[in-house]
Amino acid sequence: MSVITVNDGEATFDCAEGDTLLRAGLRAGLALPYECGVGACGCCRCEVTAGEVANLWPEAPGLSDRDRRKGRVLACQSLPAGDVHLKLRLHPQPEPAIRPVRHRATLVASRQITHDIREFVLHTDAPADFRPGQYALLPLPGLDRERAYSMANLPNAAGEWHFRIRKVAGGGATTTLFERLAIGASVGLDGPYGLAHLRTDSPRDIVCIAGGSGLAPMLSVARGVAADPALAGRRVDFFYGGRTPSDLCGEADLAALPGFGETIRYHAAVSDADAAARDGWRGPVGPVHQLAETVLGERLTEAEFYLAGPPPMVEAVQQLLQVTHRLPPERIHFDRFF
């Protein structure tokens, strides 16, 4: 066990062997800055002012060359070797709503959703405790680093965690999941993490915009709205963008929710015009952020936004909302995985 001291004593926390600085701090209830938890976003950059850390991923894209020259580290990729003093900016958000916990999980089911997205159901003995829109970190067998995957379902006492994962060509993690992990396999599951979870205290209509396996957290957010009596009647516009018609998904899940077709609406766009013509797609063709702008019209500036998907999609939506329409960042929720 190491003792971690933040900002000359502003906070201290214990870090168990094998835990990263970030996760130990969050488990202790500290509002540490982070988004991805996997070395990509750079939000957890900090300085080690005393003591030593081992770097799990020296080439992590979350650090620039300048950061490396200045000796900065990523809290999510650092294992303390003894007691450590850190300098960092504590997050303006309050402490984590639910403190992350390490579980053992069993793969109990999986089913194909589209040609490249599969749902994996993991079971833990403890309840599945998270906020709609959050993710968990999975240490998969044979891989050097954990991967972040979002839950598509709702928190539950039965300990069920549903992940919708898109197969990445040549990707080690998804090859393990899709081809090597059999029903009954035991894996680690650490969570929940993520700040882009459903805000139940906002009175605004909700817009979810997803692409790829960003479907999972957006589905969880929409399900969270439908399941919360305090949000009854709240309008949810759910946008999904795929390259081809065969990439589209999510509508059947939303159709099972009360209010579908009335307060909850599904809108889909295909970005590849050739594929759309070839496959007889009669719906909108183009990027999903353009569809959202067209459908929402004047409602766009009044809504609360949740985003998840490939980085270019998230960046295009962010540009639309923050630059073109000048929405304040606190009304746009997403965890940056790039």
# chain residues binding ligand FES, by CB under 6 A: 13
- Between 37 and 287, CB nearer to ligand FES: 37
Q: What are phi and psi of 7, to 5 degrees?
A: 50, 55
Q: Is 327 in the site for ligand FES (CB under 6 A)?
A: no
Quickly list H helices, 166-287. Answer: 172-175, 215-227, 251-255, 273-278
Residue 264 CB, nearest distance to ligand FES (Å)? 32
Q: Which stretch binds ligand FES (CB under 6 A): 1-9, 37-45, 140-148, 321-329?
A: 37-45
Residue 192 CB, nearest distance to ligand FES (Å)? 14
Q: Is 36 in the site for ligand FES (CB under 6 A)?
A: yes
Q: For residue 39, give both structure tokens.
A: 């070395």
- Between 65 and 262, CB nearer to ligand FES: 65
- Between 33 and 242, CB nearer to ligand FES: 33
From 25, 37, 211, 284, residue interacting with ligand FES (rule: CB under 6 A): 37
Residue 334 CB, nearest distance to ligand FES (Å)? 13
Q: Tell me which H or E stretch contains 108.
A: strand 101-112
The CA dihedral of 108, 103, 118, 218, to the nearest 10 degrees, is 130
Q: Is 42 in the site for ligand FES (CB under 6 A)?
A: yes
From 21, 24, 40, 113, residue interacting with ligand FES (rule: CB under 6 A): 40
Q: Which of residues 52-91 bind ligand FES (CB under 6 A)?
A: 62, 74, 76
Q: For residue 126, give both structure tokens.
A: 């403890």
From 41, 177, 314, 317, residue interacting with ligand FES (rule: CB under 6 A): 41
- Between 78 and 174, CB nearer to ligand FES: 78
Q: Is 137 in the site for ligand FES (CB under 6 A)?
A: no
- Between 43 and 254, CB nearer to ligand FES: 43
Q: Is 39 in the site for ligand FES (CB under 6 A)?
A: yes
From 6, 13, 21, 35, residue interacting with ligand FES (rule: CB under 6 A): 35
24, 33, 287, 291 from 296: Cα distances, Å: 41, 32, 15, 8
Q: Which of residues 244-303 bind ligand FES (CB under 6 A)?
A: none
- Between 44 and 173, CB nearer to ligand FES: 44
Q: Is 148 in the site for ligand FES (CB under 6 A)?
A: no
Q: Is 212 in the site for ligand FES (CB under 6 A)?
A: no
CB 271 within 8 A of CB 212: no
Q: Which amino acid is at 32?
A: L
Quickly list H helices, the chain. Answer: 21-27, 65-69, 172-175, 215-227, 251-255, 273-278, 288-296, 311-318
CB atoms within 10 A of CB 324: 11
15, 42, 45, 138, 172 from 145: Cα distances, Å: 19, 16, 18, 9, 10
Give the strand pairing for 186-193 and 206-211: unpaired
Q: Is 321 in the site for ligand FES (CB under 6 A)?
A: no
Residue 206 to residue 122: CA distance in whole angstroms? 29
Name the residue among 206, 262, 272, 194 with its Cα closest to residue 239.
Answer: 206
Q: Is 96 in the site for ligand FES (CB under 6 A)?
A: no
Residues within the interface to ligand FES (CB under 6 A): 34-37, 39-44, 62, 74, 76
